[in-house]
């Protein structure tokens, strides 16, 4: 087998330039269908979970309820799966996001290993040989590009490195569809090769092979197999263990941000993950009051909450904080769960039920409620909550947390807290609420 031959090529191809375009440049004896297939199967188990939890995360914003909530208004039928996000169980969004973000991190070493295993095929010469070959290259571009794009944008987002040429939500949402479509096509096309590779070498049999006994696969098995393999320095089992160990390290350093408790201290990779302080408001925030642009003067004695009811002949009700505190107070133990995967763990919130405020505004059982913050700009200064969210007895306009007034960073004078909703829908520094009829 030479540099200019493919295993099943009908005629020789032009000689590639020196370097990575020559198959003999790639010398690892463990590259081949077996390693690529095993890594592919791990990705096949994990990526669909990422995809489904990602779609659920989008559904949790209830984009069908109002354009105000919709981060991808042009999605058309790609939003076919949307449904009204429930409020119970209250850990639903926490588990969904924890799984999405943690699994995304854990799969990074597996994706890197898989890309390493197929590197020779990313350097093909000539780059385009025929319309069919061009189509194959395009599908691989969408697969590799889509995968790298989704993982990179997700990680940049959780590290709060917002350098996207547009909204993260839009890019990550459309990127996910491109990636999953390319992956489904790739997995379907490669499945026979996976079966063949595992049948030829056996999954468990190959895992028992030491470095000294590691042999290259036959060159005619695949273009990935080196025609000039070097002596083995690691077994296939060792390579998988190396990637798996990378995954375990990432798991150990990130999962604590979603699980909480003593594990929170171990979340060294999470910007918001680490331990809480001793004070009642000493738990994570994403946007501080200073970052939000809300000024102290707006939240002082002059602050008022305005309650509106949609429809004709509705006059607004205006309340001071003291008047809100004089209303029946309720307590709910709920966590703020961020789209970035971290959770504050349960905190004890006290305030007025949203459904009591709806009654006060004359709205009875509203179909929705538009919540507006003092925060101007930003994607979530306004959100619309559903009928179910407004009606849940745990949905509060919180005035206090853990026995103390809300701190400025937690949304003083008043903030929304709704069970199982994305953190950004728990609007801080609330100024007005409009209950839909
Ligand atoms: C993030 C997901 C994935 C990426 C980025 C990826 C990328 C690639 C690339 C670039 C190739 C080389 C081109 C080719 O042979 O067509 C390849 C080959 C292959 N992939 Fe994947 N892949 C992914 C997932 C999967 C999955 C889920 C499976 C299994 C179900 C799989 C199984 C294979 C097989 C069997 C080969 C052929 C190996 C050979 O040539 O002998 N891949 N992959």
Are 380 and 62 contacting, i.e. CB atoms less than 8 angstroms apart?
no
Query: Cα of 114 to ligand 1 centre, how many Å?
Result: 8
- Is any ligand 1 atom within 6 A of the Cβ of residue 31? no
Are 39 and 117 contacting, i.e. CB atoms less than 8 angstroms apart?
yes
- Is any ligand 1 atom within 6 A of the Cβ of residue 182? no
- Is any ligand 1 atom within 6 A of the Cβ of residue 37? yes
Which position has the token pair 């929170």?
Answer: 264
DSSP state of 259: H
CA–CA separation, 232 and 167 (whole Å): 46
DSSP state of 422: B
Task: Give residue 207's pLDDT.
Answer: 98
- Is any ligand 1 atom within 6 A of the Cβ of residue 50? no
Task: Give residue 6's pLDDT.
Answer: 52
CA–CA separation, 1 and 137 (whole Å): 23
Closest CA to 422 of 387, 384, 366, 392: 384
Task: Give residue 164's pLDDT.
Answer: 87
CB atoms within 10 A of CB 391: 16
Point out which residues pair with 353 in neighbouring strands: 396
- Is any ligand 1 atom within 6 A of the Cβ of residue 337? no
Residue 206: its H or E element: helix 203-207
Closest residue CA from atom 26 of ligand 1: 40
Please state, in angstroms and as integers, the Cα–Cα distance from residue 124 to each residue in 26, 230, 244, 268, 305, following that order: 12, 21, 29, 40, 64
Query: Cα of 39 to ligand 1 centre, how many Å?
Result: 9
CA–CA separation, 18 and 404 (whole Å): 70
Task: Give residue 317's pLDDT.
Answer: 96
Task: Give residue 4's pLDDT.
Answer: 47
- Is any ligand 1 atom within 6 A of the Cβ of residue 183? yes
- Is any ligand 1 atom within 6 A of the Cβ of residue 108? no
Which position has the token pair 């306004």?
Answer: 382
Query: Cα of 67 to ligand 1 centre, how many Å?
Result: 39
Task: Give residue 8's pLDDT.
Answer: 52
Query: Cα of 324 to ligand 1 centre, how many Å?
Result: 59
Query: Cα of 40 to ligand 1 centre, how many Å?
Result: 6
Closest residue CA from atom 9 of ligand 1: 118
Radius of gyration (C-alpha) of the chain in whole angstroms? 27
**10-residue mean pLDDT series, the chain (437 residues):** 50 87 96 98 98 98 95 95 98 98 98 98 92 95 98 95 91 98 98 97 97 96 96 98 98 95 89 78 92 96 96 88 98 97 96 98 94 88 97 98 97 98 97 92
Please state, in angstroms and as integers, the Cα–Cα distance from residue 181 to each residue in 101, 110, 143, 176, 190, following that order: 21, 20, 8, 8, 14
- Is any ligand 1 atom within 6 A of the Cβ of residue 36? yes
Superfamily name and number for 289-435: Oxidoreductase, molybdopterin-binding domain (3.90.420.10)
Residue range(s) in the chain whose domain bears CATH number 3.90.420.10: 289-435
- Is any ligand 1 atom within 6 A of the Cβ of residue 415? no
Burial of 178 (0-12, 13-18, 19+ CB in 10 A): middle
* Non-local CB neighbours of 95 within 8 Å, separated by 6+ positions: none
Q: Is beta strand 396-401 parallel, antiparallel or unpaired with respect to 382-386?
A: unpaired
Q: Is beta strand 330-334 parallel, antiparallel or unpaired with respect to 415-417?
A: unpaired
Query: Cα of 56 to ligand 1 centre, how many Å?
Result: 27
Task: Give residue 277's pLDDT.
Answer: 83
Reading phi first (left if > 0) and then psi (alpha if -120 to 50, else beta), residue 104 is in alpha
């Amino acid at each position: 087998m030479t540099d200019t031959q493919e295993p099943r090529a009908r005629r020789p191809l032009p000689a590639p330039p020196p370097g990575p375009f020559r198959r003999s440049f790639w010398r690892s004896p463990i590259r081949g269908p077996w390693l690529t297939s095993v890594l592919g199967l791990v990705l096949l188990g994990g990526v669909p979970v990422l995809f489904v939890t990602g779609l659920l995360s989008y559904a949790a914003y209830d984009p069908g309820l109002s354009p105000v909530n919709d981060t991808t208004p042009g999605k058309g039928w790609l939003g076919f799966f949307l449904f009204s996000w429930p409020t119970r169980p209250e850990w639903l969004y926490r588990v969904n996001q924890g799984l999405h973000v943690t699994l995304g991190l854990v799969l990074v070493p597996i994706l890197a290993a898989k890309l390493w295993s197929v590197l020779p095929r990313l350097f093909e010469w000539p780059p385009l040989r025929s319309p069919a070959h061009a189509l194959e290259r395009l599908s691989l571009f969408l697969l590799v590009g889509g995968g790298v794009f989704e993982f990179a944008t997700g990680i940049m987002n959780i590290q709060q490195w917002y350098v996207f040429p547009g909204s993260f939500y839009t890019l990550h949402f459309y990127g996910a569809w491109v990636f999953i479509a390319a992956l489904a096509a790739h997995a379907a096309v490669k499945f026979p090769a996976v079966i063949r590779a595992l049948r030829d070498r056996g999954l468990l049999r190959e895992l028992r092979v030491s470095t000294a006994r590691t042999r290259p696969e036959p060159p005619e098995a695949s273009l990935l197999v080196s025609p000039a393999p070097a002596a083995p320095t690691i077994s296939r089992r060792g390579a998988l263990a190396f990637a798996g160990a990378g995954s375990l390290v990432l798991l150990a350093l990130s999962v604590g941000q979603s699980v909480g408790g003593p594990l929170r201290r171990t979340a060294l990779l999470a910007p918001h993950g680490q331990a809480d302080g001793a004070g009642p408001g000493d738990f994570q925030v994403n946007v501080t009051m200073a970052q939000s642009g809300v000024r102290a003067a707006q939240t002082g004695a002059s602050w008022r909450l305005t309650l509106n009811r949609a429809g004709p002949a509705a006059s607004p009700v205006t309340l001071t904080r003291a008047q809100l505190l004089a209303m029946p107070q309720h307590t709910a133990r709920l966590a703020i769960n961020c789209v970035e995967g971290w959770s504050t763990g349960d905190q004890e919130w006290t305030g007025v039920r949203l459904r009591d405020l709806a009654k006060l505004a004359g709205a009875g059982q509203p179909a929705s409620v538009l919540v507006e913050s003092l925060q101007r700009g930003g994607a979530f200064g306004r959100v619309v909550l559903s009928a179910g969210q407004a009606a849940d007895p745990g949905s509060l306009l919180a005035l206090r947390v853990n026995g103390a007034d809300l701190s400025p960073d937690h949304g003083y004078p008043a903030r929304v807290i709704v069970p199982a909703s994305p953190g950004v829908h728990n609007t801080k520094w609330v100024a007005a609420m409009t209950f839909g009829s």
